[in-house]
Structure 1
Amino acid sequence: MSVVIVGSINQDIVARVNRIPRPGETVLASTLVRTGGGKGANQAVAARRAGGASVAFVGAVGADPDGEMLREALVTDDIDVSGLSQVDGPSGTALISVDAAAENTIVVVPGANAVPTSLTSAQRDLVNAANVVLTQLEVPTSLVLDASAARHKQAWHLLNAAPSAPFVIDGAALLPSVDVLIVNEHEALDAAGVGDLDTAVTALATRVRALVVTLGRHGSLVVCGDERADVPAFAADPIDTTGAGDTFCGVFAATLDASGRSPATVDIPLLLQAARAGAAAAALAVTRSGAQDAVPTASEVLAFIERTNA
């Protein structure tokens, strides 16, 4: 069993503030923390800590001290970094403000993440060996397309379409290569190009095998063919929502991998199982600070679910 994440890795610089500043305004932060981040790397950590699956990360860091630190953080989580290349220039950086209500604003400077536009031969071999390939849009869309094309015929391609980006590059459409599309409400509206969520869900569901729309404290919606089902959120007292969506995606991917099933057999019960596991992990993550630092282990998630069901 294996999961490969092809995506971004960043140095997160997180400032805790009482409230997010308005345009032109300066506010004082109470703390400043530097930690590992990036949607792809966060998802890799979440998939690995979910237990069971071997996890490899494919991406790029810069030739700087941040790059080495980010690499070592993944190694500490027993993630295969043989597909993590080093390029000239700086590593990716995310500037994050988190307010007292646990909301955040994020500015990403892609750095090394923007450099690779296709896989190397060694990276392609890693992807081809995976049961589940998970991608996002913090890297060039051409890299996502290449990763999807490199997977074997029975492997899943999960796309977390965040942040929103065009689904067509050089004439090649991205969505036909996707088995499960994971988006939040705003990303769903952007991807469908319509103004209301129900219409967006209907439009997107016809273009992929399965669709998952995360709705924050309102849970998530899973769609497969003509079937739809709601997944309630787990109650939590959030202090930082920065990595919640990434935690959901990583655990979702690991759950599909553990099922031993192929995309051709996807159905609502499997999606519900994966979404519920992801939701529980995300609920725990928001009660902690940081992105990768906040990702819970499988035993922590299991205990949380048992307490919640008690």
Structure 2
Amino acid sequence: MDRAQAADGTPGRREVLVVGAYFADLVFRGLARPVRPGTEVFAEALDLVPGGAFTPAMTMHRLGHDVVWATDFGTDLFSGQVLAAARAEGLDETGFRHHPGPLRSVTVALSSPGDRAMVSYQDATAAQPLAGLLREHRPRMLILPQLQYGPDVLGALRTARQLGTEVFMDCQDMPGTLDTPYVREVLAAVDVFAPNECEALRLTGAGTVDEALHLLSGLVRTVVVKRGGDGACAVRDGKRYDLDAVPVEVVDTTGAGDCFNAGFLHAHLAGGELPDCLAAAVACGAAATSGPGSGHAPDAAGLREWLARLPHR
């Protein structure tokens, strides 16, 4: 999709800006037993699929949205693999930076039907300044695929507010708690925060999801907690909604959380109420688990089919 033009001929604002690193996901499936130090375990299947911030950018694009993804690629095999996938999906390359040397971002996922364990590696590179990206693209929605905090992040989120940009933030098992400097202030500047259950408990120090929701909803207007096979729950303006998971034969959960996020935002950008956004999120996340990695993220027609499989609401 071409960039919109304002009435004066200058570039118009983008609908969605995704800011985050690519990852190449090596997904090992069908492990005969848990992996323990000093042992070797053979998998039944191996998939190399693009992941990281590629997944929400690609899924939002498949769902019909105008997306710019700000990320970095190098000359290495993994950069090449994900860049080729992004081009095959037709993603806008406006936000891509290309570096003259390797820039490896790799995750090894040991996948079981219920969950997965991951080991990741990432070559260091200087991040693109978030405030500058916001001013350049002036998005309607900013997607941050992981918890970020600090004075620069807080300043950028204030810029987002000035531009009328809504901010969606995931957690992604990043370190930090509500007692870490700037975490509370950053969350208070976010419009939607969507950790999974374990992340919500760790971040808040709460003993239950109910308690974690209570603490987080005191900071963020909309809090969504992903609960895997138990569905999801959300609170907005003090009102809570819960939704069961879609029955599905799970192949792999890698990337399902990012697809969940995209489903939520797809409905949100269309003006959906919170229950509708939660339904689209659960359906999109379930679709992703029906295949390895990000490959089974649905398009708009596929999402409608998965929505029809939701439990009674």
For residues 286-301 of structure 1, the aligned pairs below 5 Å read 286-290=289-293, 292-301=294-303
C-alpha separation in 2, matches of 1:69 and 1:145: 33
Equivalent residue for 2:213, pick from 187, 198, 201: 201
The answer as to 2:39 corresponding to 1:30 is no
Distance 1:190 1:258, change over 3 A: same
- Partner deviation per Cα, 1:109-129 (whole Å, 9 max, x = no partner): 1225x63163484x33344x2
Equivalent residue for 1:306, pick from 300, 305, 308: 308
Q: Choose 226-235 or 130-139, whichever is displaced more.
A: 130-139
Is the 1:5–1:43 Cα contact (8 Å) retained in structure 2? yes
* TM-score normalised to structure 2 length: 0.84
For residues 1-310 of structure 1, the aligned pairs below 5 Å read 2-16=15-29, 17-38=31-52, 40-51=53-64, 53-87=65-99, 88-99=101-112, 101=113, 103-112=115-124, 115-116=126-127, 118-119=129-130, 121=132, 123-127=133-137, 129-137=138-146, 145=154, 147-151=156-160, 152-166=162-176, 168=180, 173-259=185-271, 270-290=273-293, 292-306=294-308
Percent sequence identity over aligned pairs:
25
Unaligned runs of 5+ in 1: 260-268
Distance 1:190 1:183, change over 3 A: same
Unaligned runs of 5+ in 2: 1-13
What's the secondary structure of 1:12's corresponding residue?
strand
Q: Match for 1:92: what amino acid?
A: S
What's the secondary structure of 2:195's corresponding residue?
strand
- Partner deviation per Cα, 1:178-222 (whole Å, 9 max, x = no partner): 111101111111221233222211111000111101111211111
Higher relative contact order (CA 8 A, sep 6+): 1
**1:264 alignment partner in structure 2:** none
C-alpha separation in 1, matches of 2:73 and 2:144: 17
Distance 1:141 1:14, change over 3 A: farther
- Partner deviation per Cα, 1:48-70 (whole Å, 9 max, x = no partner): 1122x101111222332321331
Q: Over the residues paired in the alignment, what is the CA RMSD in angstroms?
A: 2.7
More strand by share: 1
Q: Match for 2:304: what amino acid?
A: L
What's the secondary structure of 2:45's corresponding residue?
strand
C-alpha separation in 2, matches of 1:247 and 1:115: 27
